[in-house]
Amino acid sequence: MESINQKKKKMALVQEKKVEMCGLDWKRVVESYPHELSGGMRQRVVIANSLILDPNILLLDEPTTALDIITQAFIVEALRHVHKQLNVTMLLISHDIGNIAKLAEDVIVMYAGNVVESGMVEDIFYRSKHPYTRGLINSTPSLTEDLSKKKIYSWGTTEFIEYAIRMSV
């Protein structure tokens, strides 16, 4: 039978593995107070902690919110690595359509608490039908796209207003 100390050592090794899987230095994390870690590091620690019990599904609610673009890239890469290594299903809830495109295989778009569109990520991004979906996609800035040819999506369009009215009834 394992002693309490053996169980603690075993759990510490599991924690160390999960923290390093998320791209962090274990020693730095355990020797730091939370305020000594950046927002992105703290977010990756939370992700690592959620993996300790080897879940089959990981619920991620706005995992990159309030983080700068570089830190978001670290989080996205950590999530890709975790998915690849553990084959864990991830349910990502986010308004950040760019990060959804980087992580998702299937997408469900909701508006006003209702599913308005669903499908494979390629279908949603290249053949979206709903004005809210198109608005989310068009709101994502691009570093390579010619912005002079980008369609400006107006939230005041008749199509969107009519849909919003139908949803509120």
Tens digits of residue pLDDT in 127-146 = 999 999 998 888 877 667 66
Query: Does the pLDDT of residue 121 top 90, yes or no?
Result: yes
Q: Which domain holds residue 128?
A: 105-169
Instruction: Please report whether residue 137 resides in a domain.
Output: yes
Instruction: Please report whether residue 139 resides in a domain.
Output: yes
Q: Which residues pair with 110 in a beta bridge?
A: 115
Find how far residue 2's CA is from the centre of its chain. 38
Instruction: Please report whether residue 129 resides in a domain.
Output: yes
Grouping H, G, I as helix, E, B as strand and the rest as coil, residue 22 is: coil
Instruction: Please report whether residue 127 resides in a domain.
Output: yes
Instruction: Please report whether residue 25 resides in a domain.
Output: no
Instruction: Please report whether residue 157 resides in a domain.
Output: yes
Query: Does the pLDDT of residue 148 top 90, yes or no?
Result: no
Instruction: Please report whether residue 46 resides in a domain.
Output: no
Report the share of the chain in percent with pLDDT over 90: 70
The structural domain count of the chain equals 1
Instruction: Please report whether residue 144 resides in a domain.
Output: yes
Query: Does the pLDDT of residue 85 top 90, yes or no?
Result: yes
Statement: the pTM of the whole predicted model exceeds 0.95: no
Query: 27: which 2 tokens?
Result: 């020693």
